[in-house]
Amino acid sequence: MIRVIRVKNKQEIAEKAFEIMHQIVTNKPDCTLGLATGSSPIGLYELMIKDHKENGTSYKDVTTFNLDEYVGLPKSHPESYFSFMHRNLFSGLDVREENIHIPSSEGDLEDRCREYNEALAENVIDLQVLGIGSNGHIGFNEPDTPFDSVTHIVDLKESTIKDNARFFDNDISKVPTQAITMGISNVMAARKIMLLANGENKANAIRATVMGVVDEKVPASILQEHPDVVIIIDEEAASSLYKEKR
């Protein structure tokens, strides 16, 4: 079941998301968190760091699993998701390095997928944080990814490469064309899912996710079949909801 929380702006998305995150981490200090990169969760991550510093909320027993990583960028590249997570979250918290899981795209990719699936199978994610692509992707599960997929290698769609060019000097040729991603069934295995989205360019994807047919063409539409999903969106991302389509 999807519950939609509509707020005014990005700051309020971060505040609402933090409230939910904080409750999970304080109720279960050894919880497992599923984490996303991209711009959508950055405000949430800032509030987690601020709260850790000011109020001492500890993440020392928390285990984390990230959704995805580019193929073809070394871990040390500033736009690798490994770098992103350390820069925007882990450097400000007390999560233990050995409890951090980010898919690796180094060496044999089939082996890396198998290992990530094995690690996920040993942990149930208590709270999975998601963003959404303008094409409805979750993780890097692009349209037409089977709903029963597990961690796999994907070819990124043109629209995703264009969307992500902003992190690569707006130069499409610099954006990796492949990624390793948790599959849709890995995401659906989480106890609770929290999807964050802001901005007009997410409005169609949000509409299709919440009100559309459950179809592999819109990966996020499968969330309708999960028992506990909360979608936190600003007015712009909510602007196509509950309106007749023009």
Q: Buried b / exposed e across 38-56, counting CB within 10 Å, b at 16+?
A: bebbbbbbbbbbebbeeee
Q: What CA–CA distance (Å, rounded) separates 62 from 99?
A: 7
**Catalytic residue list contains 54:** no
Piece of 13-21, 24-32, 126-134, 221-229 that binds ligand F6R (CB under 6 A): 126-134
**Catalytic residue list contains 101:** no
Find out whether 32 and 63 touch, Cβ atoms under 8 Å. Answer: yes
Catalytic choice (135, 186, 198, 204): 135
Q: Buried b / exposed e across 105-136, counting CB within 10 Å, b at 16+?
A: beeebeebbeebbeebeeeebbbbbbbbbbbb
170 lines the binding site for ligand F6R (CB under 6 A): no
Decide whether 13 or 25 has the Cβ nearer to ligand F6R. 13
Summary count for the chain: helices (H), strands (E): 7, 10
Catalytic choice (137, 163, 198, 204): 137
**Catalytic residue list contains 94:** no
Decide whether 15 or 167 has the Cβ nearer to ligand F6R. 167
39 lines the binding site for ligand F6R (CB under 6 A): yes
Closest approach of ligand F6R to the CB of residue 175, in Å? 12
Which position's Cβ is nearest ligand F6R?
131
Closest approach of ligand F6R to the CB of residue 55, in Å? 26
43 lines the binding site for ligand F6R (CB under 6 A): no
Q: Greatest CA span in the chain, whole angstroms?
A: 51
**Catalytic residue list contains 68:** yes
Coarse DSSP helix, strand, coil percentages of the chain, rounded to the nearest 5 percent: 40, 20, 45
Q: What CA–CA distance (Å, rounded) separates 108 from 125?
A: 26
69 lines the binding site for ligand F6R (CB under 6 A): no
DSSP 141: B
Q: What CA–CA distance (Å, rounded) separates 71 from 154?
A: 9
Piece of 113-121, 125-133, 150-158, 169-177 that binds ligand F6R (CB under 6 A): 125-133
Catalytic choice (68, 126, 163, 234): 68
103 lines the binding site for ligand F6R (CB under 6 A): no
55 lines the binding site for ligand F6R (CB under 6 A): no
In sequence order, what are the beta bridge partners of 231?
4, 195
68 lines the binding site for ligand F6R (CB under 6 A): yes
Decide whether 138 or 230 has the Cβ nearer to ligand F6R. 138
- Neighbour tally for 185: CB within 10 Å: 17
Find the binder of ligand F6R among 103, 131, 176, 183 (CB under 6 A): 131
Closest approach of ligand F6R to the CB of residue 94, in Å? 22
| Residue 197 backbone phi and psi in degrees, to 5 | -150, 140
Give the residue numbers marked as catalytic.
68, 135, 137, 142
Interface residues with ligand F6R (CB under 6 A)?
36-40, 67-68, 131-133, 137-140
